[in-house]
Structure 1
Amino acid sequence: MSWETIFSLTNGWALVSWLALAAAPRNPKILALILYLGVMLLCLAYAIMFGGLFFGGWGPSKTPDLTTLAGVMALFDSKGGAVLGWTHYLAFDLFIGMWIARDADQKGFSRIVQLPFLFLTLMVGPIGLFAWLIVRDRRSRAQAAKAK
């Protein structure tokens, strides 16, 4: 299987999971499906690619030193390394998106309010998380003040 095919498959799988997170009912069964069929399968794909690239001879003959910028750049300079890194982003961004959705539900945010944060997390993960942390802090403080 080519790296382009793996890239397309992981992207498609992540998109289906994100659509389910945004549009499907958030009952425990749906959330479990997103976690185990979405996040976990992306993690499994990552683990297989990592093993192949670093121990199975799928990548460069010399394993890059990931403790240096030059080593990380060498890894991402290959198709396999780029797909590996991208799958890492997809898995973690989806996991963070799930956390945001659950947290927003618990704090009483409507789905329409959640969508921009989920979209930002999908597209530019840390910015979406940063924005959500700011908004959730304000809601948490307001809820705490009401409780007093």
Structure 2
Amino acid sequence: MMDWNTAFTAINASVLPAWALLIFLPRSKVTGAIVHSALYPALLGGVYLAGMVAAFAFGQSSGGVDFTSIEGVRAIFAHPNGVIIGWTHYLVFDLFVGAWIGRDAIRHRVPHLAVIPCLILAFMLGPVGLLLYVLLRFMLRKKLMLQE
């Protein structure tokens, strides 16, 4: 069985190829097939689901877990499995946002060199990268477009 640190490292490393494709090969068919498909959400969703099953069916969680209080949410992250579940959640959604930024930038002809910092920030700080991209697109298009 894999230890928690190894699992954390493996999950982190699993998204690096997708981010590299978004940054270095944004228009590639490989990027489309891998990053703009359901591949990553499905694979990491499976990891997430396995962690949830382990938490609730096999006791790999702390006591007092719930989603209705800060203490209950803190209890989720008190167990290594909860950290893995939470981190996987972040990785899936940050990559989903990064993939959307990549597609949207191509659709709206936002220069890719200007998009790269947004992608890096989306990878590292999720919502900050999205905010930067929305502001970039606003500055280039001179109108706020929040729809597809």
TM-score computed with the length of structure 1 as normaliser: 0.85
Q: Deviations over 1:10-56 (max 9, x none)?
A: 10001121112211252455323123332321122111111211233
* One-letter amino acid of the counterpart of residue 47, structure 1: L
Which residue number in structure 2 is paired with residue 23 of structure 1?
Answer: 24
Aligned 8 A contact 2:26 2:102 in 1 = no
Q: Deviations over 1:37-78 (max 9, x none)?
A: 323211221111112112332223x35011110011111121
Higher RCO, 1 vs 2 (CA within 8 Å, ≥6 residues apart):
1
Aligned 8 A contact 2:18 2:31 in 1 = no
Which residue number in structure 1 is paired with residue 56 of structure 2?
Answer: 54
**Counterparts of 1:32 and 1:67 in 2: how far apart (Å)?**
38
Which residue number in structure 1 is paired with residue 38 of structure 2?
Answer: 36
**Counterparts of 1:104 and 1:19 in 2: how far apart (Å)?**
16
Which residue number in structure 1 is paired with residue 71 of structure 2?
Answer: 70
Q: Deviations over 1:63-110 (max 9, x none)?
A: 501111001111112111111111110000000000001101111122
* One-letter amino acid of the counterpart of residue 71, structure 2: A
RMSD: 2.1
Higher helix share: 1
SS in structure 1 of the partner of residue 38 of structure 2? helix
**Counterparts of 2:130 and 2:26 in 1: how far apart (Å)?**
22
More moved, 84-93 vs 41-50:
41-50
Following TM superposition, the consecutive aligned residue runs of length 4 or more in structure 1 with deviations greater than 4 angstroms are: none
SS in structure 2 of the partner of residue 135 of structure 1? helix
Unaligned runs of 5+ in 1: none
Paired residues, what number?
A: 143
